[in-house]
Amino acid sequence: MEKKARIIAFYLPQYHPIPENDEWWGKGFTEWTNVGKAKALFKGHYQPRVPADLGYYDLRVSETRKAQADMAREYGVEGFCYWHYWFGNGKRLIERPFNEVISSGEPDFPFCLAWANETWKGFDHGLKNRNVLIEQLYPGVEDYTAHFYEILPALKDKRYITVNGKPLFMIYKPLASEEIKVFMKTWRKLAVENNLPGIYFVGHHNDLRNNLKDIISTEVDAVNITRLNNYIINHRSIFEKIISKTKSVFFGNASAYAIKYSVMSKYFLVEEEDKIKNIYPSIIPGWDHTPRSGREGLVMTESTPELFENHVENAINIVIDKDPENRIIFIKSWNEWAEGNYMEPDLKWGKKFLEALKRQIYK
């Protein structure tokens, strides 16, 4: 049965210990540490989230990676977009799961890479300070060349996701530095020199951080838009009242705030933008950053499979008239458990979000 859209799911490879995480957060830390310690902060707050079918997995285990891929394939996901960390001067983090996918040839499931070119700060990852843990650097052409050759085996892998024959490579912060343009120019040249038809660069657009026209001006080939905060942007005065009201709910001076999924999801898609051939929207199953940030951050409440299915249907209807190659939708995300942002089964909903996705993809 033919799929109505190309569904690519962001994939977090954080679920295994590394020396840096041991140093920053304590021995044995993985993303499950934040997930496991999460607590409900108000009546009806869905925490903690407990994984069902796949359990508290370790991504060093090949059977786990295969089980994830088998599940994603069964429910209509075309492939995973692995978050990829290269901080400059050859420094990588949490690269082991993807490296093993490349070296082993398993699972036989499509993939692409999204360069998470962002400085890590303590607060964003669960610490109580905003200290820089590791800085994102842009050292120059020599480093960009080393970066290219580091992942060239992946780009040439038969499983790598392409658009018009070119390997799809996403840049999380395309406006982070003017050096991004140099980076892309370098990679495009190296791709041709290494018998690739080019690189299909996709710039990520997060509505609070950048401007769509500015991203397009960097000469990326396409833009992926995630409008998680679009409701807030369009209702700033209401948003300020919500924060004021919810502070007492969240015990004192906390700055977390709760908004219903049914309200926020209406703003995840913008038809006039998302219909453009090389603009790729995102579908979002939920959001809750409190496992990482404690009593600070956005909580999207009352997310259900039925509401998510309506969201998926709307996204597919927007992209359906594009040519099949560009009928791309990203899922944010496959397994961001500490953001309440995942498709994998949990004890509350099981596979119902996946079933909702499948019904609309093959409808």
- pLDDT band per the 50, 70, 90 thresholds, residue 85: very high
Least-confidence region, from 166-170, 171-175, 251-255: 251-255
Q: DSSP assignment, residue 238?
A: H
How far out from the chain centre does Cα 13 lie? Answer: 11
Instruction: Answer with the residue of higher pLDDT: 245 or 285.
Output: 285
The pLDDT assigned to 207 comes to: 64
Q: Which helix (H) or strand (E) holds 262?
A: helix 261-264
345 within 8 A of 51, measured Cβ to Cβ: yes
Summarize pLDDT for 179-231 with one digit per residue, the tens: 999 999 999 999 999 999 999 999 999 866 568 999 999 999 999 999 998 88
Predicted confidence at residue 47, as pLDDT, reads 96
Q: 231 and 263 in contact (C-beta within 8 Å)?
A: yes
- Collect all residues with Cβ–Cβ distance below 8 Å to 107 and sequence separation of at least 6: 65, 66, 68, 69, 70, 101
Strands 132-134, 162-163: pairing is: unpaired
Structure tokens at 274: 């998302």
Q: Is 213 exposed, middle or buried (0-12, 13-18, 19+ CB in 10 A)?
A: exposed
Among 296, 3, 326, smallest CA distance to 130 is for 296
The helices-and-strands tally (H runs, E runs) of the chain is 14, 17
Q: How does residue 72 score in pLDDT terms, banded at 50, 70 and 90?
A: very high
Most confident of 118-122, 125-129, 159-163: 159-163
- Residue 238's pLDDT is 59
> Average pLDDT for residues 23-28, to the nearest whole number?
92
Which residue carries 């249907």 as its tokens? Answer: 313
Q: For residues 137-147, give the mean pLDDT.
A: 98
**Reported confidence tier of residue 29, pLDDT bands at 50, 70, 90:** very high
The model's confidence at residue 121, banded by pLDDT at 50, 70 and 90, is confident
- Residue whose C-alpha is closest to residue 104's, from 56, 59, 53, 58: 59
